[in-house]
Amino acid sequence: MFAEGVFCAEHLLTFPAQKTKGKLEAFGRCVYCGRQKDEHGQPLRLTSEHIIPEFLGAGLELPDASCPTCQKITATFESSIAQDIFDPVRKSFSLVGKDGVLKKTNFPLDIGRETSAHEFIPLIHYPTILVLPMLYPAASYSRRPRDADDPFNFRMFNINADPKALQKYAIDQFSSQAIDMVRFAQMIAKIAHVYAMHHLGYGTFKPLVADFVRTDFPPGIRCKSHFEHVGCLWQAKDAKSPNLHEIEIGKIDWNGQSLNAVRVRLFASCDMPSYYVTVG
């Protein structure tokens, strides 16, 4: 439906199902705003950034890479995404986060027909389905309008949804989790931007998604550019993968330009889609 760019891969980073911890070389400035000192000329207190959020079972850190202001914003949208999209998935897969495996055992299930109505179901019977959006190609590497904000469709992986298990609760239908597209795009852009900064180096490219990542978008506030640099490539087919997650640095050639790009694939072993982010 849209002409799209071509991704040329250069370097692949994989994350196994079993969490392994590792630290990259300290960055020494905020990876988002670029600051090393505050408004008074004092050194900023910089914290580590996980390349992929730790709640998704990944342990690779970029030390000294986030100032308090940017860290607060990224922590807010990642916390929201963790709870709204991934909590039952994290528990089902026993993903190890900052505080170990998620301790919750009951999760809210939306069983409403016209309006939301939640009932808490224990994990043993909770119909856990991994749902991630399939996106159109991003505006920066296709003819798609910059302010288009709709996904194409959704890819689903049934972890343990079983109608028989729900019969004891008299439940015959339910809704999957809702996905805040703006915050989801921010998370994907954050992963791509942070790893690109480490791999390519600060000052080697003009960042395209840093300001988007470090902007606070309260729920209900419309954003029109979250798919400007985040999308899927329809001609690039994903291969079967044994990896939990994948990050791949490369370039996207489009309309006479060669853009620095990163492929982010979460839950690759569950056949989830790759997202392509033009980072610079």
- Domains of the chain by residue range: 6-278
Q: What is the pLDDT of residues 98-112, one digit of tens each?
A: 888 889 888 888 988
Residue 227 predicted with pLDDT over 90 = yes
The amino acid present at 154, given as its one-letter code, is: F
Cα–Cα nearest to 102, from 114, 90, 118, 112: 90
Residue 183 has pLDDT above 90, yes or no: yes
Q: Is 22:59 a contact under the CB 8 Å cutoff?
A: yes
Residues near 30 by Cβ (< 8 Å), separated by ≥ 6? Answer: 36, 44, 46, 65, 66, 67, 70
Q: How many CB atoms lie within 10 A of CB 172?
A: 9
Show the DSSP H helices in 37-148 as ranges: 68-81, 87-92
Residue 169 reports pLDDT greater than 80? yes
Pull the structure tokens for residue 7. 């991704």
Is 229:212 a contact under the CB 8 Å cutoff? yes
* Average pLDDT score over residue span 254-272: 97
Helix (H, G, I), strand (E, B) or coil at 242: coil
User: Tokens at residue 109, please?
Assistant: 């299930």
Mean pLDDT of all residues in the chain? 92
Strand bridging mode 47-50 / 129-134: unpaired
Summarize the confidence of residues 264-275 as an average pLDDT: 97
Tens of pLDDT along 75-95? 999 999 999 899 999 999 999
Q: Which two tokens stand for residue 183?
A: 């915050």
Strands 6-15 and 245-254: antiparallel
Q: Is pLDDT at 164 greater than 90 in this prediction?
A: no
Partner residues linked to 47 by β-bridges: 66
Half-sphere CA count of 50, side-chain side, radius 13 A? 19
Distance from the Cα of residue 207 to its chain's centroid? 18
Lowest mean pLDDT among 147-161, 164-178, 200-214, 244-258: 164-178
pLDDT at residue 255, as a whole number = 93
Q: Which of 42-46, 138-142, 172-176, 196-200 has the weakest average pLDDT?
A: 172-176
What's at 47, amino acid-wise? T
- One-letter amino acid at 248 equals E
Per-residue pLDDT of 23-34, as tens digits, reads: 999 999 999 999
- pLDDT bracket for residue 122 (50, 70, 90): confident
User: b or e along 182-213 (b: 16 or more beta carbons within 10 Å of the residue's beta carbon)?
Assistant: bbbbbbbbbbbbbbbbbbbeeeeeebbbbebb
Give residue 1's pLDDT: 64
* Residue 201: per-residue pLDDT: 95
- CB proximity list for 97: less than 8 A, separation 6 or greater: 54, 55, 57, 90
Would you state the pLDDT for residue 38? 87
Question: Among residues of the chain, what percentage have pLDDT more than 70?
Answer: 100
- Each residue's pLDDT tens digit, 39-87: 888 999 999 999 999 999 999 999 999 999 999 999 999 999 999 899 9
User: Could you please report the per-residue DSSP string of 190-220?
Assistant: HHHHHHHHHHH-TTSS--SSHHHHTS---TT
Residue 167's pLDDT is 84
Q: What is the C-alpha separation between 41 and 39, in angstroms, rounded?
A: 6
Note whether 10 and 249 are within 8 A (CB): yes
Mean pLDDT of 234-242: 92
